[in-house]
Structure 1
Amino acid sequence: MRKQLQQLIRRRRRAWFLRCQLYTLAGLHLHERKIMCEQCVAKAVMVVENVIPGFHLMQATQGSRHWKKGWYGLVEVNDPTLVFEGPLLQDPTHGWSDDAINAMAQDVQAALGRYDESVEKLEEALVVDAGTGYRIVSACMEVGYNRKDDGFIHYWLMNYMVTMAKLASATAK
């Protein structure tokens, strides 16, 4: 029994040592208890500060455990509250009448298909716990989301984020 216990202790120490080495290679220093935030590991860049109140829209420039390279994240503090693949696409039929939508050209239909695929990825990411969902919906409502007029939040949020990203890009130039 004592021998088995000693072997178990040695295996755990070895596993801890290997984990520390792997984390050190990744820029994390587990043995010093300096674990970097997800935002730092992913080397996320700001796309829009406060895209909705309390949430920054950021994009990972390097992959991390939960945030893949090129993916977007809504970040409250250091770690993303949610991440989604993107791309950020604007609704090509935003503001159109029903008649105009029914008569849309093939290229607009293709763009609408790409937009729908992107929105579906955001919808999957928006499946969060009740508290997080409440914070996101409340923030959206603060900047103009109205469930009756705007419909599903994931469609509204995608279009809003793209609009804000274009505004931020235009003012930066």
Structure 2
Amino acid sequence: MEFINWRQINRTGLIMGVNKIAIFLSLALCSAYTIASEDSGFISIESDKKIYLYTLKKMQRNDLLQFQYRDNDGKEKCCMEAHIRKLVITKQNPVSDYKSEGKIYKYLVTPKNRIDKSSLFLGIAVLGKVRAFSEKNNEVSKIGDRVNFTLKTCTSSEGMHLLGIKNNIVEEHLYYYFGYDVEPTCAENF
């Protein structure tokens, strides 16, 4: 079995020395983001150079979201505003709901500002508006009076997990299947 170490993935999203296509794993080291929205999902720049949102929430055209993106230096940043453009109907979906087996919706997204879409990318999206937040050491905290909702990601042997945690309870658990082996970063009992 061949494992892909996240360190092998360079800024362009390609795996050095491996003959496979890889998604740039944007938070593969069990990163955590703290926000005030309980609605989240995966944001993905795919091979067609379009930006997609995978989420449990049914959304409407022009609904607001904010998403993690990669800047010109290849560093992950949070957060850029975007709007839902349209629902995408697909037969196969790489994302599943581990917690409640709910329906996953896929949306085409239009970002507020231009971003580099030349390489594959997978990150976190927060639905709605994060009015104020601080970013430090891969942590984003919303400043305000709402209960914080922490988003954590890690990889298992073939995909990435997105955990939404409120009051130390996992409220949301999405899984993005890669279709190839990667080096796990999740704790045994996550």
* TM score, norm. by length of structure 2: 0.24
Higher relative contact order at CA 8 Å, sep ≥6: structure 1 or structure 2? 2
Of structures 1 and 2, the larger Rg is shown by 1
Higher helix share: 1
* TM score, norm. by length of structure 1: 0.25
